[in-house]
A and B are shown apart, each in its own frame.
Chain A
């Protein structure tokens, strides 16, 4: 992939940025998420986490299956405050 490929579309994070943090020694996906915001957008990392995990497995020499993935947090899809409040009429 070219290095300016966008890995996390929600937060506009490029592959190059992810690689920079990995090179600095951040090899835990939880730390990468918190430092770059990759995976903190509306899609909750559905797209980017596989890309990040692949990069991570390359650096850490572990298979993607051995790496833990961040918790999916509710809600599953973005939901508005008024829907949550049960006030669907306005």
Chain B
């Protein structure tokens, strides 16, 4: 393995979509001497394990804006990054199912907020839901919400596209390079010690996903981000027949047909303990199969071919932590994405790059600073799976 550089302006920790897209945005703004270190290989973390669904139907203004603007970027991203293989981006919509009056009421609030921000979502009756997803079993369904510009992309190609574009602009990307510690001098970060050598630097960007709190600890910060296993499984590819993503929050599951033809489906377990475990469990596939065959009975012959798990980087209010830490100068965090980091990465990375370069980010992201936890000013995102 080639020797790593001994000096850089910025060291980005983590080769997921956040690390790669922040690297690209910094380089595009003209910053030199950027290094990205990844302890394993690109997309080995949550990014390469995720559902890669992209929705704008959120319940907080910030999540709505971050996803709406990211959708705009996704629309032309392959061209912007000059990536010849494409990113399999499709806008096939998201249908959210409501099974209780409370849920329907929440959707109505969310849709009003989304519409006020220019997101073209709408509430639907259960009959309309069945028009959108034929074969949907509407027993017990009270209605739902739908946005036709939601969609999905290929998480591998998106990340590699950002990484290659960053490398073409001079970013040094080191795989199999693990950050072991971070040194400070007079309250500022000054060096990152890795398994392949040390790098002197002015700025460190923590995009370590489920490991973000471990990186935070290296500079003495107590980031309230914690890892939580989320499982997922995929079917063999079949002809396209279910167009949009279907999400059921009250039963914690989602299912969507990818561009490739396979159905990808997952389920959150409200009792999942915190921790780094990513072993798949048998119960997961059985429970999820029961739910899916009940809501979408026409899929019962679909063959499941693979099951795996990854870590959500959870934050107590389900919104990310973005920005520089006031205690440790030069230490920036972009983490705590709580299961929706893929879809909001493109715009988040742009804002992060502006903040890192000392510019005023184009929208104010102060409320996403981690100090919100000390002051207790949390705005809880209600719409998570």
Point out residues on A near B: beta carbons under 8 Å: 28, 30-31, 34-35, 37, 40-42, 44, 71, 73-75, 78-82, 84-87, 90
* 7 contacts across the A-B interface (CB closer than 8 A): A35-B156, A42-B305, A44-B305, A71-B308, A74-B307, A82-B301, A87-B290
Q: Which residues of chain A are within 8 angstroms of B82 by Cβ–Cβ distance?
A: none
CB distance from A79 to the nearest CB of B (A): 6
B240 contacts chain A at the CB level, 8 A cutoff: no
Whether the pair A37, B260 counts as a contact (CB closer than 8 A) is yes
CB distance from B346 to the nearest CB of A (A): 19
Give CA–CA (A45, B286) in the complex, Å. 24
Give CA–CA (A31, B11) in the complex, Å. 23
B196 contacts chain A at the CB level, 8 A cutoff: no
Point out residues on B near A: beta carbons under 8 Å: 41-44, 48, 85, 156-157, 160, 175, 235-236, 260, 280, 282, 285-286, 288-290, 292-293, 299-308
B236: contacting residue among A28, A37, A78, A87, CB under 8 A:
A78
Whether the pair B260, A79 counts as a contact (CB closer than 8 A) is no
The closest CB in chain A to the CB of B285 belongs to A84
A73: contacting residue among B41, B290, B308, CB under 8 A:
B308
The closest CB in chain A to the CB of B303 belongs to A78
Known: A30-B41, A84-B289. 6 other contacts (CB 8 A): A73-B306, A74-B285, A75-B304, A81-B304, A84-B290, A86-B286
B304: contacting residue among A37, A71, A78, A86, CB under 8 A:
A78
Q: Which residues of chain B are within 8 angstroms of A37 by Cβ–Cβ distance?
A: 260
Q: Which residues of chain B are within 8 angstroms of A71 by Cβ–Cβ distance?
A: 308
The closest CB in chain B to the CB of A35 belongs to B156
Q: Which residues of chain A are within 8 angstroms of B236 by Cβ–Cβ distance?
A: 41-42, 78
The closest CB in chain B to the CB of A84 belongs to B289
Give CA–CA (A40, B48) in the complex, Å. 13
A85: contacting residue among B85, B157, B293, CB under 8 A:
B293
Q: Which residues of chain B are within 8 angstroms of A30 by Cβ–Cβ distance?
A: 41, 44
Most buried by A among B42, B285, B289, B292: B289
Work out how many contacts link A and B, with CB atoms closer than 8 A.
80
CB distance from B136 to the nearest CB of A (A): 15
Q: Which residues of chain B are within 8 angstroms of A74 by Cβ–Cβ distance?
A: 280, 282, 285, 306-307
Q: Which residues of chain B are within 8 angstroms of A44 by Cβ–Cβ distance?
A: 305-306
Q: Which residues of chain B are within 8 angstroms of A73 by Cβ–Cβ distance?
A: 280, 306-308
Give CA–CA (A30, B285) in the complex, Å. 24
Give CA–CA (A40, B308) in the complex, Å. 12
Whether the pair B305, A41 counts as a contact (CB closer than 8 A) is yes
Most buried by A among B293, B306, B308: B306
Give CA–CA (A80, B238) in the complex, Å. 13
Whether the pair B48, A80 counts as a contact (CB closer than 8 A) is no
A81 touching B306 in the complex, CB below 8 Å, given contacts A31-B42, A34-B43, A34-B48: no
CB distance from B46 to the nearest CB of A (A): 14
Q: Which residues of chain A are within 8 angstroms of B157 by Cβ–Cβ distance?
A: 35
Give CA–CA (A40, B43) in the complex, Å. 15
CB distance from A87 to the nearest CB of B (A): 7
Q: Which residues of chain B are within 8 angstroms of A80 by Cβ–Cβ distance?
A: 300-304
A35: contacting residue among B160, B285, B306, CB under 8 A:
B160
Whether the pair A82, B300 counts as a contact (CB closer than 8 A) is yes
Whether the pair A31, B41 counts as a contact (CB closer than 8 A) is yes
Whether the pair A75, B293 counts as a contact (CB closer than 8 A) is no
The closest CB in chain A to the CB of B309 belongs to A73
Whether the pair B304, A84 counts as a contact (CB closer than 8 A) is yes
The closest CB in chain A to the CB of B263 belongs to A81
Q: Which residues of chain B are within 8 angstroms of A79 by Cβ–Cβ distance?
A: 303-304
Give CA–CA (A77, B255) in the complex, Å. 21
Whether the pair B293, A87 counts as a contact (CB closer than 8 A) is yes
